[in-house]
């Protein structure tokens, strides 16, 4: 005679087991928007506005104001009220301080940003550095201080359950070199495929998705100027600092990029960095963009 445990185990149908397995294997699609690229409306917070877009579940926020405890708590209340997660904080260094200069001011800023991130429930601290503020990977005097700073900050971020995600104007190979020199799992690439191609590394944007895969905790999604949807493929305007003489095509998200991410089982966050000309255009365009990402990743 079967005992109770055996009876319960044998009572689960094969179909149920199959459904559970399919559910467990399902990769969540997590979509946020960068607060700084959202239009403003009097009396309406970015969280309330984000809640009007079906499928948009997070925000990326930033600026030195978040280092103020009262401001961070206000953001937390809005996040809880509208059920929109504060996914990431973008670090804002004081004037004259960058990843290249590193030193005590940069370290203090990152430590305070991690503390603010804990307060609002973020899991990613985004750190930017472009051209003059980006470490030059062929010059140790440039990248050395950055590497030492990140080696210090990595364990602190890990202890807080966060990743430091670097958004830089580097090529894919240079990113890999920097990650290897730091050698800490909490220091990861913040990938912007469009930005990488646009800033002078055509082809690396899509290739980076394949090479870096799930080591990317978060990535920016954008497709050029306001009004362009993620599904559009078009020539980008020439970046003023790009060393590539010709204009480059925007990322082929449906045909190339999303299939790579889907195959990799990408579990990081997507964050729209798309500009919008009005609240009405934001609602219309962001809704279409979310639907597009969901369709491509389903």
* CATH number of 65's domain: 3.20.20.150
pLDDT in tens, 182-213: 999 999 999 999 999 999 999 999 999 999 99
Domain that includes residue 88, residue range:
28-297
105 contacts 93 by C-beta, under 8 angstroms? yes
Closest CA to 30 of 190, 230, 216, 269: 269
Q: Which residues pair with 188 in a beta bridge?
A: 165
pLDDT at 5 over 80: no
75 contacts 61 by C-beta, under 8 angstroms? yes
Q: 128: which residues sit within 8 A by CB, 6+ positions away?
A: 90, 91, 166, 167, 168, 190
* Structure tokens given for 128: 């930017």
pLDDT at 164 over 50: yes
The pLDDT score that the predictor gives to residue 226 is 85
Provide the percentage of residues in the chain whose pLDDT is more than 90.
88
Q: Is residue 20 part of a domain?
A: no
DSSP collapsed to 3 states, 138-185: CCHHHHHHHHHHHHHHHHHHHHCCCEEEEEECCCHHHHHHHHHHHCCC
Q: Is residue 222 part of a domain?
A: yes
Pairing of strands 124-129, 187-191: unpaired
Q: Could you tell me the pLDDT band of residue 26, with boundaries at 50, 70 and 90?
A: low
Mean pLDDT of 259-274: 96
pLDDT in tens, 47-101: 999 999 999 999 999 989 999 999 999 999 999 999 999 999 999 999 999 999 9
Higher pLDDT, 28 or 248: 248
Show the CA angle centred on residue 285, arms to residues 284 and 287, nearest 5°. Answer: 70
Q: Is residue 272 part of a domain?
A: yes
Q: Is residue 21 part of a domain?
A: no
* CA pair distance 3, 221, nearest whole angstrom: 54
**Average pLDDT across the chain, whole number:** 91
Q: Is residue 5 part of a domain?
A: no
Q: Left (φ > 0), alpha (ψ -120 to 50) or beta: where does 187 sit? A: beta
Residue linked to tokens 């005679």: 1
Show the CA angle centred on residue 111, arms to residues 152 and 175, nearest 5°. Answer: 55
Q: Is residue 246 part of a domain?
A: yes
Q: Is residue 11 part of a domain?
A: no
Report how many domains make up the chain.
1
Residue-wise burial string across 272-288, b where 16 or more C-beta atoms lie within 10 A, e elsewhere = bbbbbeeeeebeebbee
293 contacts 221 by C-beta, under 8 angstroms? yes
Q: Could you tell me the pLDDT band of residue 21, with boundaries at 50, 70 and 90?
A: very low
113 contacts 72 by C-beta, under 8 angstroms? no
Q: What is the DSSP string of 40-72?
A: -BTTB-HHHHHTTSTT--EEEEESGGGGSHHHH
pLDDT at 117 over 50: yes
Q: Is residue 4 part of a domain?
A: no
The pLDDT score that the predictor gives to residue 4 is 38
Closest CA to 63 of 37, 25, 92, 88: 92
* CA pair distance 49, 38, nearest whole angstrom: 9
**Residue 178 C-beta-side C-alpha neighbours within 13 Å:** 32
């Amino acid at each position: 005679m079967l005992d109770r445990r055996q009876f319960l185990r044998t009572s689960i149908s094969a179909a149920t087991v199959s459904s559970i397995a399919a559910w467990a294997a399902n990769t969540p699609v997590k979509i946020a928007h960068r607060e700084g690229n959202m239009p403003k409306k009097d009396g309406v917070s970015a969280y309330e506005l984000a809640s009007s877009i079906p499928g948009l579940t997070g925000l990326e926020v930033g600026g030195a104001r978040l280092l103020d405890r009262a401001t961070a708590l206000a953001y937390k209340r809005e996040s809880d009220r509208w059920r929109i997660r504060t996914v990431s904080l973008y670090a804002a260094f004081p004037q004259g301080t960058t990843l290249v200069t590193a030193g005590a001011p940069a370290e203090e800023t990152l430590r305070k940003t991690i503390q603010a991130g804990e307060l609002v429930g973020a899991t990613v601290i985004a750190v930017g550095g472009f051209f003059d503020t980006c470490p030059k990977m062929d010059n140790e005097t440039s990248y050395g201080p950055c590497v030492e700073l990140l080696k210090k900050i990595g364990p602190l971020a890990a202890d807080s359950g966060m990743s430091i995600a670097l958004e830089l104007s580097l090529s894919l190979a240079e990113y890999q070199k920097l990650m290897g020199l730091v050698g800490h799992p909490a220091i990861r690439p913040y990938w912007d495929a469009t930005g990488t191609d646009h800033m002078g590394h055509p082809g690396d944007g899509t290739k980076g998705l394949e090479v870096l895969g799930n080591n990317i905790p978060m990535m920016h999604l954008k497709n050029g100027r306001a009004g362009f949807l993620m599904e559009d493929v078009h020539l980008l305007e020439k970046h003023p600092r790009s060393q590539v003489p010709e204009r480059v095509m925007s990322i082929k998200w449906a045909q190339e990029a999303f299939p790579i991410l889907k195959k990799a089982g990408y579990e990081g966050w997507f964050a729209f960095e798309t500009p919008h000309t009005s609240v009405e255009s934001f609602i219309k365009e962001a809704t279409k963009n979310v639907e597009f990402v969901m369709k491509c990743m389903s």
